[in-house]
Amino acid sequence: MANDSICRFMFENLGIRGEIVRLEDSYQTALDRHPYPPALAQLLGQAMAAITLLGTTIKYAGKLILQVQGSGPVNLLIVEYDSERHIRGLINWQKDVFLGAEIADLFGTGHMAITVNPQDKANRYQGIVELIEPSLAGCLEHYFKQSEQLATCLWLVADANRVAGFMLQQMPGIDADGDDWRRIKLLAETLSDDELLNLDEEELLHRLFHEDDIRLFESETICFHCTCTRERIEQMLLNLGKEEINSIVAEQGSIEVDCEYCNKHYSFDSVDAAQIFTDGNPGFHSETRH
């Protein structure tokens, strides 16, 4: 069983598919970047598992983004997963406040958005639902019911070291109220958190569905990867404009930028700032900037 992997499976002749994801190294890498309280660390892990489950079902070249925003002590949860099997995520929250166990305790009134952002920027899609379920898995099931009209069940679990996720989904065009779906769902509901975290894929599927014919596909590796680069930060500063950048450098002596996802630090002194606005910088076009 790989530390960070996603594995797809399909029930032969039932029109039901599924996925199992386990994350350890990428989960710990995300936690190493920020000192999250245990409740938020596990929530972030569940979100990372969820976005991986969702991302593997979509045929696209680009990025899939899961974002939860609310008025409670946690105001933002965001995880990103791309077609190269890279993942990153973070949570913003008010420090030194009580954090409950349910979504409403954490986010208050809010919403969840799932965005498909293709590389070519064409056919960008976003679905939004209100936070009306007590768990992240429940919110995602509600999203699929409202936005995708696909019967979907998810199980998400995280501890201090690992996170795991399990998803069942009906294939498009299959009767959501069929006997096969109800039977498979009932069997899956016997799955324990310990089994999901610790059994390998074959053993887990045999434990749940030993009477069914299942095709198990080869697992794919997941890894934590942040897309921040010095060039991307330079482009952001370029967009602010030369006058604004010079004003900040004059006041503070330099411009300091930290990536919220990976905590990498970027520093630009007066020479660096001036270089951004020269013709030698590929991102600068003097004929369009004044």
Domain count, the chain: 2
**Both 23 and 117 in a single domain?**
yes
Determine the angle formed by the axes of helices 136-143 and 38-57, rounding to 10 degrees.
30
CATH at residue 48: 3.55.30.10
pLDDT tens digits, one per residue of 237-251: 888 888 888 888 888
Residue 271 has pLDDT above 60, yes or no: yes
Domain carrying residue 86: 5-224
**Both 258 and 171 in a single domain?**
no
3-state SS string for the chain: CCCCEEEEEEECCCCEEEEEEEECHHHHHHHHHCCCCHHHHHHHHHHHHHHHHHHHHCCCCEEEEEEEEECCCEEEEEEEEECCCEEEEEEEECCCCCCCCCHHHHHCCEEEEEEEEECCCCCCEEEEEECCCCCHHHHHHHHHHHHHCCCEEEEEEECCCCEEEEEEEECCCCCCCCHHHHHHHHHHCCCCHHHHHHCCHHHHHHHHHCCCCEEECCCEECEECCCCCHHHHHHHHHHHCHHHHHHHHHHHCCEEEECCCCCCEEEECHHHHHHHCCCCCCCCCHHHCC
| Residue after which a domain boundary falls, among 202, 224, 246 | 224
CATH at residue 270: 3.90.1280.10
| Residue after which a domain boundary falls, among 177, 197, 224 | 224
Residue 1 has pLDDT above 90, yes or no: no
Per-residue pLDDT, 45: 96
Q: How confident is the model at residue 286 (pLDDT cuts 50, 70, 90)?
A: very low
**Both 242 and 219 in a single domain?**
no
Place of tokens 């991102």: 283
Q: Measured between alpha carbons, how far is 67 from 75 in angstroms, rounded to an integer?
A: 10
**Both 90 and 49 in a single domain?**
yes
| Residue after which a domain boundary falls, among 204, 224, 244 | 224
Displacement of CA 75 from its chain's centroid (Å):
16
Q: How confident is the model at residue 121 (pLDDT cuts 50, 70, 90)?
A: low
**Both 270 and 165 in a single domain?**
no
**Both 38 and 70 in a single domain?**
yes
**Both 120 and 247 in a single domain?**
no
Q: How confident is the model at residue 287 (pLDDT cuts 50, 70, 90)?
A: very low
**Both 245 and 106 in a single domain?**
no
pTM listed for this prediction: 0.85
**Both 130 and 16 in a single domain?**
yes
**Both 73 and 123 in a single domain?**
yes
**Both 257 and 138 in a single domain?**
no
Per-residue pLDDT, 175: 64
Residue 80 has pLDDT above 80, yes or no: yes
**Both 19 and 143 in a single domain?**
yes
